[in-house]
């Protein structure tokens, strides 16, 4: 299989990207039922109702929904769509859909039908999707309900076109069974509390929306090489593989020229993304060989999350046309950088003000300081919950490595803003206007210096006018960490507003009350601020002194969702009910167990059927050669005998360890408590993987290359 795959990969011809004669401005959102399409296909009343639902959260009547459904149907059929689906995001981490035809038989003819009921609500069954015990498997009802704030779109592939309607997914009793419903609740909570705090500074602010830009990292591997690796197919990552002589140490791939075949893939992807209204802006090579990144412009959080999930589906589909397979796993290859999903988050008022933009003189911008300091305080108080929100078996491999922040949650704000906060507390003014800070180089135009540098090691870094949550894994649905961040910040803003209003009632003037409470908030939040190297051993020791958590694995991190702080920011604010929180923890624990369980099974299969047979065959050849030499009266060389000994040792140890790991897996499966089972899989099963891999990788290094069955790192990473 390996050599067949190599031949296919090496002979593969680059597929030219499809040229588009349509100007970008005409192509963009051409497959989206956006405001332009609505104006054409809806009545004025229906159009205004949808806009009001999007911008003001107003409910739509069934009568109005019927008008909208009629216009949406006419638009999508005019675009060539034959089916429609409610497109939702269950707790599997993937998207889900069930297609229904527009056409129904009536009087011997096919009649186009799409009612208000079809638009607003459907019952997709979906009984096998994760519920965490919120319903029994035999209780099949689950409902999808239309989310008007995320526009419907047409997804097209070689099989045809389908109208996709973004929806939430809830149980028969109304519990959230998806990522979108809690996200929408958290955004509403954040809007309410941010707007209330803005009233201290500007009465014209009537709403605040959270904006998000999601940078998506990924690997591309030739499809033939991917198919010849069972671990990639079933686990998304390589469980074995000896490091190549050249990895990323030269750093020549980073920002290098994009290979032609990859460029064609990226170009096709961008065209398809633009048609779906996904505003892709950036593409480039990442640090590791075979690793790339794309990033869109900023959008409202709910839409940005929907677009990122849709983009991942699109990336998979377009890759097939170019003979590639996209790897979203956080650590598909050992020894080189893994992939993240950097979430750039900010707050924008209805008046167009970025609440996290310092301006030219941040020291005098009290509104900025209010939201800046309260966000840092929210991170401090909810650090363990933020850590839990990005936890997964895959991300555990990545956190703390050279390309990702560690598990200790902290914030980086840069030297300028650090001094601003120091001055704010002390009442002094030492920071110069950032407008005057420049870098001068002969013959080069003036370069303005940002108010912060970048810190790639920080989990939560301020980058000029936004915070970047860098710890999110590349395969993760960003809705979960964004729900946690939104809820934490909104809860803190609520506490801040309450304290300020209490002070004002005592007779303190508004500005003095704001400053007094801000200083108190800043003092208690300071332990989470760190400006140095988050990878250093010194920081681990310092973080412990400050009382910051350093939770290294998923099973332990998930406990935070059941903490008092989780109750404060989630349950008390109506984002989750207690049963929903418990259900989510149960689901994440089960997911962790299943992923490690699958990896353990695949590792055992690889050992017995892919690795030991060629190693034993090579060992047999060497032993027969020694025997033949002995029969001929000759003596085998020392190197040959040492190689036989080395092969024997690694073969025996690999078999022994795999058998022991299998026994531990069986013991863990007998545990009925989900958390205990997850902990057992972490401590007794997953912890054996590296030791097993050590011996298997040694066998790859010394076994005759001609006998080795699995595509090697040097082939998967460098053949493009």
Asked whether residue 108 falls in the same domain as residue 224, the answer is no
Q: Please report the pLDDT score of residue 240 as a whole number.
A: 98
Name the residue among 475, 453, 481 with its Cα closest to residue 383: 481
- Residue carrying the six token digits 């958290």: 186
Coil/strand/helix, residue 295: strand
Residues of the chain with pLDDT under 70: 105-113, 125-126, 136-140, 361-364, 401-403, 429-453
Q: Please report the pLDDT score of residue 89 as a whole number.
A: 95
Cβ–Cβ under 8 Å, residues 474 and 341:
yes
Tally of structural domains, the chain: 3
- 21 within some domain: no
Name the residue among 51, 21, 52, 58 with its Cα closest to residue 36: 51
End position of a domain, from candidates 547, 576, 605: 576
Q: What secondary structure, in 3-state letters, does 502-559 show?
A: HHHHCCCCHHHHHHHHHHHHHHHHHHHECCCCCCCHHHHHHHHHHCCCCCCCHHHHHH
- 22 within some domain: no
Asked whether residue 488 falls in the same domain as residue 600, the answer is no
In this structure, the dihedral spanned by the alpha carbons of residues 690, 694, 699 and 700, taken in order and rounded to 10 degrees, is 70
Cβ–Cβ under 8 Å, residues 35 and 51:
yes
Q: Please report the pLDDT score of residue 402 as a whole number.
A: 56
End position of a domain, from candidates 520, 548, 576: 576
Tokens of 100: 């229904």
Angle between helices 414-426 and 510-525 (to 10 degrees): 120
Can you name the residues that pair with 122 across neighbouring β-strands?
Answer: 144
Q: Give 161-180 as a DSSP string.
A: EEEEEEEEEEETT--B-BSH
End position of a domain, from candidates 543, 576, 609: 576
| Digit-coded pLDDT (tens) for 568-612 | 999 999 999 999 999 999 999 999 999 999 999 999 999 999 999
Burial of residue 450 (CB within 10 Å: 0-12, 13-18, 19+) is: middle
Asked whether residue 36 falls in the same domain as residue 118, the answer is yes
CATH of residue 604: 1.20.120.1560
Q: Give 379-448 as a DSSP string.
A: HHHTHHHHHHHT--HHHHHHTTSTTS--SS--EE-HHHHHHHHHHHHHT---PPPGGG-EE--TTS--EE
Burial code (b: 16+ CB inside 10 Å, e: under 16) for 676-705 equals ebbbbbbebbbebbeebbebbbbbbeebee
Asked whether residue 126 falls in the same domain as residue 228, the answer is no
Name the residue among 484, 264, 483, 312 with its Cα closest to residue 385: 484
Asked whether residue 493 falls in the same domain as residue 529, the answer is yes
CA–CA separation, 529 and 420 (whole Å): 13
- 367 within some domain: yes
Phi, psi of 21 (to 5 degrees): -85, -5
Give the domain extent around 217: 187-576
Q: Give 458-519 as a DSSP string.
A: -SEEE-SSSEEETT-BTTS-THHHHHHHHHHHHHHHHHHHHHHHHHHHTT--HHHHHHHHHH
Can you name the residues that pair with 340 across neighbouring β-strands?
Answer: 473
- 444 within some domain: yes
CA–CA separation, 611 and 240 (whole Å): 10
Burial code (b: 16+ CB inside 10 Å, e: under 16) for 97-115 equals bbebebeeeeeeeeeeebe
Asked whether residue 564 falls in the same domain as residue 616, the answer is no
């Amino acid at each position: 299989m390996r050599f067949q795959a190599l031949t296919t990969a090496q002979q593969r011809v680059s597929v030219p990207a499809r040229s588009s004669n349509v100007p970008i401005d005409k192509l963009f959102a051409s497959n989206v039922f956006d405001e332009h399409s609505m104006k054409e296909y809806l009545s004025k009343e229906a159009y205004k109702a949808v806009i009001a639902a999007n911008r003001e959260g107003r409910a739509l009547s069934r009568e109005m929904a019927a008008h909208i459904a009629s216009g949406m149907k006419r638009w999508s059929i005019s675009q060539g769509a034959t089916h429609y689906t409610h497109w939702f995001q269950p707790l599997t981490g993937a998207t889900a859909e069930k297609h229904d035809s527009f056409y129904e038989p009536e009087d011997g003819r096919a009649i186009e039908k799409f009612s208000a009921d079809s638009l607003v609500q459907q019952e997709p069954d979906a009984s096998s999707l994760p519920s965490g015990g919120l319903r029994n498997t035999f209780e099949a009802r689950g409902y999808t309900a239309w989310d008007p704030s995320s526009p419907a779109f047409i997804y097209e592939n070689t099989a045809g076109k389908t109208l996709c309607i973004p929806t939430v997914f809830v149980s028969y009793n109304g519990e959230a069974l998806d990522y979108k419903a809690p996200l929408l609740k958290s955004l509403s909570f954040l809007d309410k509390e941010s707007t209330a705090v803005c009233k201290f500074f500007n009465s014209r602010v009537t709403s605040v929306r959270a904006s998000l830009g999601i940078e998506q990292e990924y690997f591309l591997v030739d499809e033939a090489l991917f198919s010849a690796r069972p671990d990639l197919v079933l686990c998304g990552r390589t469980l074995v593989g000896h490091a190549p002589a050249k990895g990323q140490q030269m750093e020549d791939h980073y920002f290098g020229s994009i290979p032609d075949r990859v460029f064609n893939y990226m170009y096709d992807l961008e065209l398809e993304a633009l048609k779906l209204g996904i505003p892709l802006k950036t593409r480039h090579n990442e640090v590791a060989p075979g690793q790339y990144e794309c990033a869109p412009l900023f959008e409202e959080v709910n839409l940005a999350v929907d677009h990122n999930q849709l983009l991942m589906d699109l990336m998979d589909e377009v890759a097939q046309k170019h003979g590639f397979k996209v790897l979203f796993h956080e650590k598909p290859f050992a020894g080189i950088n893994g992939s993240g999903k950097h979430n750039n988050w900010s707050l924008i008022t209805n008046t167009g003000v970025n609440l996290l933009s310092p301006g030219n003189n941040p020291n005098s911008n009290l509104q900025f300081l209010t939201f800046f300091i309260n966000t840092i305080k929210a991170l401090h108080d909810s650090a363990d919950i933020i850590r839990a929100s990005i936890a997964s078996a895959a991300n555990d491999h990545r956190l703390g490595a050279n390309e990702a922040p560690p598990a200790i949650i902290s914030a980086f704000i840069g030297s300028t803003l650090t001094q601003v906060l120091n001055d704010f507390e002390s009442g002094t003014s030492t920071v110069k206007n950032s407008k005057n800070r420049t870098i001068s180089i002969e013959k080069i135009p003036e370069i303005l210096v940002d108010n912060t540098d970048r810190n790639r090691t920080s989990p939560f870094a301020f980058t000029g006018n936004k915070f970047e949550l860098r710890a999110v894994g590349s395969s993760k649905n960003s809705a979960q960490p964004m729900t946690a961040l939104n809820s934490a910040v909104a809860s803190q803003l609520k506490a801040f507003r309450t304290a300020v209003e209490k002070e004002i009632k005592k007779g303190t003037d508004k500005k003095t009350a704001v400053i007094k409470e801000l200083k108190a908030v800043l003092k208690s939040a300071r332990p989470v601020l760190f400006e140095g190297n988050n990878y250093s051993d010194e920081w681990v020791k310092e973080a412990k002194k400050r009382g910051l958590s350093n939770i290294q694995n998923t099973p332990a991190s998930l406990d935070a969702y059941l903490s008092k702080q989780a109750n404060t920011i989630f349950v008390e604010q109506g984002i989750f009910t207690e049963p929903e929180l418990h259900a989510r923890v149960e689901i994440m624990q089960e997911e962790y167990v299943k992923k490690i369980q699958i990896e353990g099974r695949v590792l055992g299969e690889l050992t017995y059927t892919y690795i030991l047979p060629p190693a034993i065959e090579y060992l047999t050849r060497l032993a027969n050669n020694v025997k033949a030499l002995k029969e001929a009266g000759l003596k085998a060389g020392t190197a040959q005998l040492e190689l036989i000994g080395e092969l024997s040792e690694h073969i025996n140890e690999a078999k022994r360890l795999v058998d022991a790991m299998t026994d531990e897996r069986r013991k863990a499966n007998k545990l009925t408590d989900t958390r205990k089972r997850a902990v057992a899989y972490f401590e007794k099963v997953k912890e054996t993987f590296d030791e097993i891999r050590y011996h298997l990788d040694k066998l790859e290094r010394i076994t005759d290359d001609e006998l080795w069955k699995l595509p090697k790192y040097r082939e998967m990473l460098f053949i493009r």
